[in-house]
Amino acid sequence: MKHLFLIVALVCFVLCLAWGQAQPVQSPAKSPSQAASFPDADADTRRAKAVIEQGIQALGGQAYLNIRDRELQGRGYGFHHGTPTSLGIVFWSFSEFPDKERIEFTKERDVAQLFVGNKGYEITFKGVHPVEQKDLDDYLRRRHYSLDAVLRTWINEPGVILLYEGNAIAAQHPALKVTLINSKNESVSLFFDTDTHLPIKKSFEWRDPVDRQKNLEEEVYENYRPVSGIMVPYNVTRYFNGDMSNQRFMNSASFNQGLDQAMFDPNSRYDPNKPKSKH
């Protein structure tokens, strides 16, 4: 029963973790003011570009845009209709851009989920099994709309439209709202703090392919701290159709450490507790 609980909690919690995957930045990464894909724009579009540029600079500028890999450690909490579903789960998240992520759970780090490209795997003492399709679809959608994907990939895509929507209130802070619409008519709204220029909220809608119902997902970023010249939100809260769905609180973060490629191979029998060899 203990193992079953962990797996259920794992499936619920891992869906909140697709917040950091984005396309790799080739040398050097372009900021919005440098991106050739932006056409000549009217005043509102120029204002939207300026707000995004300020946000990227606040996050660390080129240091942020050129992140290659990231490690996060913390604790996550799941909610159902705003009610907590667990006492919290310890996690380690390892991301390598553009499309690799490994999330390990429990203090023993003996339960994991692995996402490589468009495939997902669950790894337990019973072995390796594919992630259920619905859970995989949810993960890939959240990765596609992640804050990093929007700021590092969407803004450089041909045909992207930027809408400056002016003053707003986000997470009880005065903010400036910008909406991006890509060539597939997908849209995402970003809210930037008027004082720090850091992104404090992201929202997007998607339609369920089965019941055709529209769903709203929102993410709030708080408690930013500098790590290696990059501002990291140590508190992240997600909402689904207005209800809090999960929270995560980071204890540590690191970047560009050079991750062991074995951790992204579902058949490598990678052991996170095995001491790393010294070179």
**Following DSSP, what letter does each residue of the chain receive, concatenated?**
-HHHHHHHHHHHHHTT-TTS--PPPPSSPPPTTT-TTPPP--HHHHHHHHHHHHHHHHHTTHHHHT--EEEEEEEEEEEETTEE-SS-EEEEEEEETTTEEEEEESTT--EEEEEETTEEEEEETTEEEEPPHHHHHHHHHHHHT-HHHHHHTGGGSTT-EEEEEEEEEETTEEEEEEEEE-TTS-EEEEEEETTT--EEEEEEEEE-TTT--EEEEEEEEEEEEEETTEEEEEEEEEEETTEEEEEEEEEEEEES----GGGG-TTS---TTSPPPP-
Number of folded domains that form the chain: 1
Residue 64: count other Cβ atoms within 10 Å of its Cβ: 23
Which tens digits make up the pLDDT trace of 231-256? 999 999 999 999 999 999 999 999 99
Residue 82: per-residue pLDDT = 67
- Please report whether residue 196 resides in a domain: yes
Model's pTM, two decimal places? 0.83
Q: Which two tokens stand for residue 65?
A: 């845009």
- Please report whether residue 272 resides in a domain: no
- Please report whether residue 273 resides in a domain: no
Residue 228: per-residue pLDDT = 96
- Please report whether residue 245 resides in a domain: yes
For range 71-81, the mean pLDDT: 88
Which tens digits make up the pLDDT trace of 84-110? 777 789 999 999 998 999 999 988 999
- For residues 73 and 106, what is the distance between their CA atoms, to the nearest angstrom? 11
Instruction: State which residues form the domain around 178.
Output: 2-264
- The CATH number of residue 223's host domain is 2.50.20.10
- Please report whether residue 91 resides in a domain: yes
Which tens digits make up the pLDDT trace of 176-196? 999 999 999 999 999 999 999
Q: Which of 213, 246, 261, 225 is nearest to 69 (CA)?
A: 261
- Please report whether residue 276 resides in a domain: no
